[in-house]
Amino acid sequence: MNISTTQPLLSPYRLGTIELPNRIVMASMTRGRARNRGLTPTDLHVEYYRQRASAGLIMSEGIWISRRAVGFINVPGLFSDEQVAGWRAVTDAVHAEGGRIYAQLAHSGAVSHPDFFNGELPLAPSAINPQQRSFTQDGFKDTVTPRAMTVAEIRQTIDDYAQAARNALAAGFDGVELHAATTYLLPEFLNSASNVRTDAYGGSAENRARIVLEILDALIAVWGAGRVGIKIAPTVRMGGFGPTAETVSTFDYLVARLDELALSHLQVVNAAGDLTGTPVDVLQNTVAYYRSRFDGTLIANLGFDEASGNAVIASGGADLVSFGQAFIGNPDFARRIKDGLPLAPSNRDTWYQGDAGGYIDYPGAA
Ligand SMILES: Cc1cc2nc3c(=O)[nH]c(=O)nc-3n(C[C@H](O)[C@H](O)[C@H](O)COP(=O)(O)O)c2cc1C
């Protein structure tokens, strides 16, 4: 039997105007390999992404939109000409292999450290310490209490996203994904525990979601809605930030607005554990919850394998499935699914740091 033609994961999909040869998405992964002062992608990045071009679609690692967005060492940016040129080499290599790649636009908000800003405080919606750790030049350091953004700084940040979107276009990406997952700047705005502002950007769900929708408008002005997606993870808990009694209603509001925008996609991160007894227990199957509330392309994420990925597509539960960890050790992940080959493990010590080792030296299956 030729299993390759029967697997839903391997069926083609039309994402807006882009033809994807399969429904396997490589999820964004910070790998900490831009070990240079300019936070510029290098030949290592070119090779890493080139090796993974058989994915239906690659989501780049989270890329800083500005100097002020930094919160983790050696993560590349998209705010200088040098970075645009570096990313152009990456997208050219992926396209030469027949692949497609979106840029994931990121801002770390409070999950950063003064070491990145010559001693100045990180910027966030409110002056509340996220009680996490930031990976700095001197190793992991505890986060501090950030400074609340002024409205002028919020406007500047939206402009920074717009500039990064223009830079992504110049760098040859196929689209952009707004990083609104984990506990970076945008989830901090959405969450009533980390956003206690009393102006137009805090208080109601509408106000807490305002910055996300204003950024999306800015990205759409550059790219058109069909090339702009967003990734959300409403149930994630990290450090001092986690779901509250307002999380479900906040995301109900946000997703209803997203549904009106005719975006490229909504990527949803499933719950990582048992939500019984938490304020977000209705989100236990997060992907299913939002599937019924969003008409556009839905990408399911977290913990999927070949069987569950095929099942969620076959049942209509999602259009595409993204895989993170599996792509670290298996550059030819899509081919391994196609040919039923075993998956190789990866070395966690080099997930977030190192050089070529544990990055571009995982072989394809023989
Ligand atoms: C090393 C590593 C780095 C990650 N960096 C990012 C990132 O930059 N942006 C993001 O949205 N998610 C990031 N994630 C989360 C993944 O995109 C994905 O949501 C998560 O790994 C769950 O998918 P999986 O179970 O298939 O690995 C990262 C995950 C890993 C393992």
pLDDT digits (tens, 9 = 90+) for 140-158: 999 999 999 999 999 999 9
Write down the pLDDT at residue 1: 39
CA of 324 to the centre of ligand 1 (A): 5
Write down the pLDDT at residue 3: 44
Whether 355 is covered by a domain: the verdict is: no
Q: Is residue 184 annotated as part of the catalytic site, yes or no?
A: yes
Q: With bands split at pLDDT 50, 70 and 90, how would you rate the model's confidence at 2?
A: very low
Give the predicted TM-score (pTM) of the model.
0.98
Whether 360 is covered by a domain: the verdict is: no
Whether 366 is covered by a domain: the verdict is: no
154 lines ligand 1 (CB under 6 A): no
- pLDDT tens digit string along 305-361? 999 999 999 999 999 999 999 999 999 999 999 999 999 999 999 999 999 999 999
Residue-range definition of the domain harbouring residue 148 = 3-350
Whether 10 is covered by a domain: the verdict is: yes
Whether 106 is covered by a domain: the verdict is: yes
Strands (E), the chain: 13-15, 18-20, 24-26, 57-64, 101-106, 123-124, 133-136, 139-142, 147-148, 175-180, 228-232, 265-269, 298-301, 320-323
Write down the pLDDT at residue 5: 55
Which residue minimizes the CA distance to atom 10 of ligand 1? 28
Into how many domains does the chain fold?
1
179 lines ligand 1 (CB under 6 A): yes
Please say if the pLDDT value at position 4 is more than 80. Answer: no
Atom of ligand 1 nearest to the CA of 351: 1
Which residue minimizes the CA distance to atom 29 of ligand 1? 29
The CATH number of residue 123's host domain is 3.20.20.70
DSSP symbols for 197-214:
--STTSSSHHHHHHHHHH
Whether 94 is covered by a domain: the verdict is: yes
29 lines ligand 1 (CB under 6 A): yes
CA of 180 to the centre of ligand 1 (A): 13
180 lines ligand 1 (CB under 6 A): no
